[in-house]
A and B are shown apart, each in its own frame.
Chain A
Amino acid sequence: MKLEDLKNTWQNADHHIENQDKIEIEKFLSKKPTTIFTKIRRNIIIETFINIIFMAGLPFIPLRLTGNGEIFFWINYGMVAVIYVGLMIKIRKIFKKVIVSNTLLETIIKTKDLYEKYIRIYKNVSYFMVFLGLLLGLIFRFYKEETHLSHFEFADTENILYFILGIIGFGILMFFAVKYYIYLVYEKHLIKLKKNLNELINIEK
């Protein structure tokens, strides 16, 4: 059997499909696309919703911060809010762009660039969030109770050491957890896109 024979079979195969119950296309026209970008958008909405709940509930945690602790807390809180608003604006701009182009190469490049840009922003924001989260942890640890004095002045060295080690350990754990989540949900597809792009442009390999 030659490839040319397969070509003939392939071209004659149209009647097989015509024999099937054809899909009613009309019902698809009003539906929303399910591309990688719409999935990202859905993830962003879910993640933002969770973060808003967390952020809104944070000031009601029954740990009273006073003096410098309160100032640090609100600075931290404000930073998180600003970062999220910035992220939303940036991402909204990214997804307004049209993806499907005339050629496959152009579409892959556009999709890859856009996706890469999104992942870069998302990664940086996530890492920064982990850092801010740790900072919040420190604020709660050392500025709780109704005192204007930091807990550094009361706590013994051993406890502080354990706490700092715990915070560092938690930070490292969170860093890798975020990294793995981004890989699992987003980066896998980027790797595939890059592979396809390399295959398309690297004629010598």
Chain B
Amino acid sequence: MKIISSVEKDLEKDFLDKIDKNQNIIHKICRAYTSDEDSHKDLFQEITIQLWQAYGSFRGEAKFTTWMYRVALNTAISIYRKKSRQVNTSSMDEYNFQVAYKPYDSTEEEQLELIYKAIQQLSDIDKALILLFLEDKSFKEIGETLGISYVNARVKMMRAKEKLKKIIGV
């Protein structure tokens, strides 16, 4: 019994270390798929739980971050549902303040804000495509993450980028 609990503890520690290092991935997905701080935290928790539940079956065939992306996107798009009583009352500015409140380069901050605002106007699938594009994932990886062919991933990405350009005005 002691051996089992020690293995479990090691597994938990290993998981927590990995998640801690890559928290930013979950934050980015949460920020793209939610519009207020409460939902952000709620989705963050849900993604973490799903990752933990699926961690036992992670064989290391794909990179940990790629696997994280997959589970996080699956959770955000398919099984996460906002609390019905949760009313979106916080404004976008307040929300942005909560997510990144430390001072840093204003141009970069403005651009980042612009990206998030544009992403939030996209559909769930286009959001996933753009997030993967921004993370510089290959079309093969994008296809594998979404479950579509390489060709379809290319075509869909092209359309999603067009929509993003239109929103941003570039």
A residues with a Cβ closer than 8 A to B are 1-3, 5-7, 9-20, 22-23, 25-26, 28-29, 31-37, 39, 99-108, 111, 185, 189, 192-193, 195-196, 199-201, 203
Contact = CB atoms under 8 A, between A and B. Distances in A.
B49 A17 contact: no
Given A1-B170, A200-B146, A35 B112 contact: no
Nearest to A40: B81
7 contacts: A1-B170, A10-B135, A17-B27, A22-B23, A104-B70, A111-B78, A203-B148
Contacts of A29: 12, 16, 48-49, 52
Interface residues of B, number: 64
Contacts of A102: 70, 147
Interface of B: 12, 16, 19-20, 23-24, 27-28, 41-42, 44-46, 48-50, 52-54, 70-71, 73-75, 77-81, 83-84, 99-102, 104, 108-109, 111-112, 114-115, 123-126, 128, 133-136, 144-148, 152, 155-156, 161, 164-165, 168, 170
A104 B12 contact: no
A37 B79 contact: yes
Nearest to A26: B16
Contacts of A3: 133, 161, 164-165, 170
Given A3-B164, A6-B115, A20-B100, A12 B46 contact: no
A20 B49 contact: no
Contacts of B133: 3, 7
A3 B129 CA distance: 13
A34 to B, nearest CB: 6
A105 B147 contact: yes
Given A3-B164, A6-B134, A196-B124, A100 B52 contact: no
Contact of B24 (A9, A17, A107, A189): A17
Given A17-B24, A18-B24, A35 B80 contact: yes
A107 B115 contact: no
Interface centre among B49, B126, B146 (most CB of A within 10 A): B49
Contacts of A104: 70, 73-74, 77-78, 128, 145-147
B78 A28 contact: no
Nearest to A204: B155
Contacts of B164: 3
Given A1-B168, A6-B115, A28-B48, A103 B152 contact: no
